[in-house]
Amino acid sequence: MAASLAPSILSADFARLGEEVREVAEGGAGLIHVDVMDGHFVNNITLGPAVTAAIRKVTDLPLDCHLMIEKPERYVEAFIDAGAEMISVHVEAARHLHGTIQNIRKWGAKAGVVLNPATPLSALQDILPDVDFGLLMSVNPGFGGQSLIRPVLDKVRQLRAQVDREGLDCRIEIDGGVTEDNLAEVASTGADMIVSGSAIFGTDDVRATTRRMVRILADAGEVRA
């Protein structure tokens, strides 16, 4: 099965946000990735529940909210109320990780955990059976437009093997530095969801770029099958 493309609105033109969300949807995107930053856990500040709610009004695609924030447990419910179907929190930021994951699910969203590039996969050992997806960062979180950290691809392959070996109902997502040029290689790792931001929204034709990348993922899925 082909991986889903998840355009990250961190790189979108916020003056045309609704229009650009519609364009990636028309191009075949599988979900919309919403990067939430607080200026504390990472050195950038982005958007909150109000913008998430605004995006919810212009698309039926699942909203995948990645909380790069301290004490994410305080804000989970607000993002779910704003329309997020998926919420992911960082192992490095959530003090009470199991409780936060349980609450995400209790409030009706799919729960994910995130690892920064330097955090070992062993940090997921105790929580992996309890989550719906694991997100591996392939750049250091905080800003778009960075280059992919290639050793993370091996981490994705290792996580794919573990999930399959243990029969876990857990999807795998990768985020950071994904472009048209490396997309097929990233897809070959076995990731189920692939985030891309500036490689989509930094082009002249967002819809056409999305279509090309979705086609690459479809071809990669056929090869894997």
Residues taking part in catalysis = 35, 175
If you write DSSP's letter for every residue of the chain in order, what string do you get? -PPEEEEBGGGS-GGGHHHHHHHHHHTT-S-EEEEEEBSSSSS-B---HHHHHHHHTT--SPEEEEEESSSGGGTHHHHHHTT-SEEEEETTT-TTHHHHHHHHHHTTSEEEEEE-TTS-GGGGTTTGGG-SEEEEESS-TT-SSPPP-THHHHHHHHHHHHHHHHT---EEEEESS--TTTHHHHHTTT-SEEEESHHHHTSS-HHHHHHHHHHHHHHHHHHH-
| Residue 127 in tokens | 């929580």
